[in-house]
Amino acid sequence: MTVGLDTVKFAEETIELMERMGVARAALEGGTLAATSPNTGETLAMIKEDSVEETSAAIGRAHDAFKEWRKLPAPRRGELVRLLGEELRTYKDDLGKLVSLEAGKITSEGLGEVQEMIDICDFAVGLSRQLYGLTIATERPGHRMMETWHPSGVVGVISAFNFPVAVWSWNAALAFVCGDSVVWKPSEKSPLTAMAVQALYERAAAKFGDDAPKGLLEVIQGGREIGETLVDDKRVPVISATGSTRMGRQVGPRVAQRFGKSILELGGNNAAIVTPSADLDLTLRGVAFSAMGTCGQRCTTLRRLITHDSVYDALIPRLIKAYASVKIGIPTEEGTLIGPLIDKDAFDNMQKSLEAAKAAGGTVHGGQRVMADEYPDAYYVQPAIVEMPGQVGPVLEETFAPILYVIRYTDFDDAIEIQNGVGAGLSSSVFTKDMGEAETFVSVVGSDCGIANVNIGPSGAEIGGAFGGEKETGGGREAGSDAWKAYMRRATNTINYSGALPLAQGVKFDV
Ligand code: NAD
């Protein structure tokens, strides 16, 4: 079957899904922003874009909402997030399907993304009773010193296309229980999932009642220009921006310029080290999922495999075989493991990197476009393995596509140096049964990444841990552990109940 530019396969289904989740059909027609499915290249809907003025007005509404919301006790705020989690449970299948249609994820990954949203809601509900401050020993008699955490204000969330809804929830669930309001600018490549989430939020807010002020969640749709409006607005004390390092280089200094705080979640160039003692069956499965899953479009995708000489020949040919046999196709079809790249730019970048790898002495297996006859406007590719003579050329950068560079090593310390020898510092792994190697990898002289795993690939984190990375990944942390602190401001309070006025550090100042 050959279908041309006018392929329409998912548009009607998309609109039905959106309507079920509470988005009016009228909001999906007549706008200027095309929502496209990478699965076929077809236009799913035409939605309205927000202007700079409308963005500013949305920030104003969110700011007003914050002033009310902050007064509610945190456990009560948690109740709204609990209700949001309930809506997500009810509409998990619909939203998961929409993620597959708009972002090209296979069914289990689309559903997995919604599960992650449910999990962070549960986490945040518990957190709403645990926003602990400290009581601190004071040097002055008759005094008490303590630390109080207060809400920050409006949190601006800028998100990427590849986790179109989960990233918002890592931020928003925490921000809401912390007493903040949220203005969300989703990727212009995935506007529909954001509209659906907003509709589900509105349902939760209606059940919560009048205590949820209008404007607590504002969604602004469009590209870089409105992103910049959000970034530059002084009424937004915290900007949480997820996307490429290129975007972070623009956003970070702009937020710093006005002394705002930023949580930057940027690109990764993640590696795994395969040591002589590694369980190769487990390694093969771990590597295959981490490197090919989501068609190589996860920030935590495995991109560099640093393999010991002694296991190279036992592992790499098997991996090349697995790569050649993996099922590529429409992500919602039974058995598909690899969906499409997001668009033509992503495909062109992949081909450019493969050419550069060849020029640098690499041997490329796979990487070619597939299914082009059937879907000329969609970009499906055979995932690529590239055997490299060393860590050179495109290996040093993140290419957001399924390319796995394989590099040999002989000495474990060298392997760690190779692992750490790139700009990004998000996720990393070692496959080993040697305790010394495992402990070294997670120690102070080991991986320099925000995530360092043993016998698990670098991809697929749980929400309980703080998520994020170092160096060019931006240094931000989201989701679990004490990541909530980035959404609040801290005050140190000293209370004098002594009736005297002893000064700190023994200073005498009698007037
Ligand atoms: P992108 O950088 O092109 O866009 C991300 C978002 O930033 C979009 O909403 C975009 O409109 C906005 N944006 C771009 N420039 C801006 C500017 N100057 N001011 C304000 N907003 C701006 O990224 P993408 O292609 O959507 O996503 C892929 C990238 O995201 C990869 O590099 C991936 O590693 C990264 N990512 C990182 C994480 C993480 O948690 N570290 C998670 C997901 C994706």
Share of the chain above pLDDT 70, in %: 99
* Inter-residue contact 171 to 182 (CB < 8 Å): yes
Residue to mutate (ligand 1; options 157, 159, 226, 244; most atoms within 8 A of CB): 244
Is pLDDT above 80 for 8? no
Sheet holding 143-151, edge to edge: 135-136, 143-151, 488-496
Place 7 in a pLDDT band, splitting at 50, 70 and 90.
low
CA distance 461 to 474: 18
**49 CB under 6 A from ligand 1?**
no
* Binding site membership of 149 for ligand 1 (Cβ less than 6 Å): no
Which of 470-473's residues contact partners 24+ apart within 8 Å by CB, and which partners?
A: 470/425, 471/423, 471/424, 471/425, 472/245, 472/248, 472/266, 472/267, 472/423, 472/424, 472/425, 473/245, 473/264, 473/265, 473/266, 473/267, 473/268, 473/299, 473/424, 473/425, 473/426, 473/449
In 3D space, the residue among 405, 424, 441, 419 whose CA is nearest the CA of residue 278 turns out to be 441
In this predicted structure, the answer to whether residue 93 has a pLDDT above a threshold of 50 is yes
User: Ligand 1 within 6 A of 267 CB?
Assistant: yes
Q: Rounded to a whole number, what is the largest CA-CA distance in the chain?
A: 93
Contact of 301 with 338, CB cutoff 8 Å: no
For residue 3, what pLDDT is reported? Answer: 46
Residue 316 in 3-state DSSP?
Answer: helix
The ipTM, to two decimals, is 0.98
**62 phi, psi to nearest 5 deg:** -65, -35
Concatenate the DSSP letters of all residues of 163-207 into one string: STTHHHHHHHHHHHHHT-EEEEE--TT-HHHHHHHHHHHHHHHHH
Asked whether the beta carbons of 447 and 419 are under 8 A apart, the reply is yes
Task: Please compute the mean of the pLDDT values over residues 489-499 and round it to a whole number.
Answer: 98
What 3-state DSSP class applies to 158? strand
* Model pLDDT, residue 308: 98
In this predicted structure, what is the pLDDT of residue 6? 56
Average pLDDT of the chain to the nearest whole number: 97
Instruction: Work out whether the CA dihedral 251, 252, 254, 260 comes out positive or negative.
Output: positive
- Which three-class secondary structure state does DSSP give residue 464? coil
Pocket-testing residue among 299, 300, 353, 449, ligand 1, by greatest number of atoms within 8 A of Cβ: 299
CA dist 262 and 281 (Å) reads 41
For the record, the structure tokens of 212 come out as 């949820």
Chain mean position to CA 443:
25
Mean pLDDT across 408-413 = 98
pLDDT, tens digit (0-9, with 9 covering 90-100), for 315-356: 999 999 999 999 999 999 999 999 999 999 999 999 999 999
Q: What tokens appear for 293 in the block?
A: 């899953």
Return the best residue to mutate from 158, 257, 342, 478 for the ligand 1 pocket (most ligand atoms within 8 A of CB).
Answer: 158
In this predicted structure, the answer to whether residue 1 has a pLDDT above a threshold of 50 is no
Tokens of 398: 């993140």
> pLDDT at position 253, please?
98
**Nearest-angstrom CA–CA distance, 303 and 306:** 10
Q: Is residue 4 pLDDT above 70, yes or no?
A: no
Cβ atoms of 321 and 168 within 8 Å: the answer is: no
Distance CA 482, CA 431 (A): 28
265 catalytic residue (yes or no)? yes
pLDDT at position 508 is 92
- pLDDT per position as a tens digit, 113-156: 999 999 999 999 999 999 999 999 999 999 999 999 999 999 99
- Our answer on whether the CB atom of 480 is closer than 6 Å to any ligand 1 atom is no
- Given a contact cutoff of 8 angstroms between Cβ atoms, the answer to whether 330 and 10 are in contact is no
> Is 264 in contact with 474 (CB distance < 8 Å)?
yes
Task: Identify whether the C-beta of residue 302 lies closer than 8 Å to the C-beta of residue 419.
Answer: no
- The pLDDT tens digits for 367-400 are 999 999 999 999 999 999 999 999 999 999 999 9
Per-residue pLDDT of 153-172, as tens digits, reads 999 999 999 999 999 999 99
Closest CA to 502 of 134, 138, 136: 138
Nearest one of 215, 180, 185 to 201, comparing CA atoms: 215
User: Is 121 assigned a catalytic role?
Assistant: no
At 204-262, the pLDDT tens digits run 999 999 999 999 999 999 999 999 999 999 999 999 999 999 999 999 999 999 999 99
C-alpha dihedral, 279 to 282 to 285 to 289, nearest 10°: -100
Ligand 1 centroid from CA 246, angstroms: 8
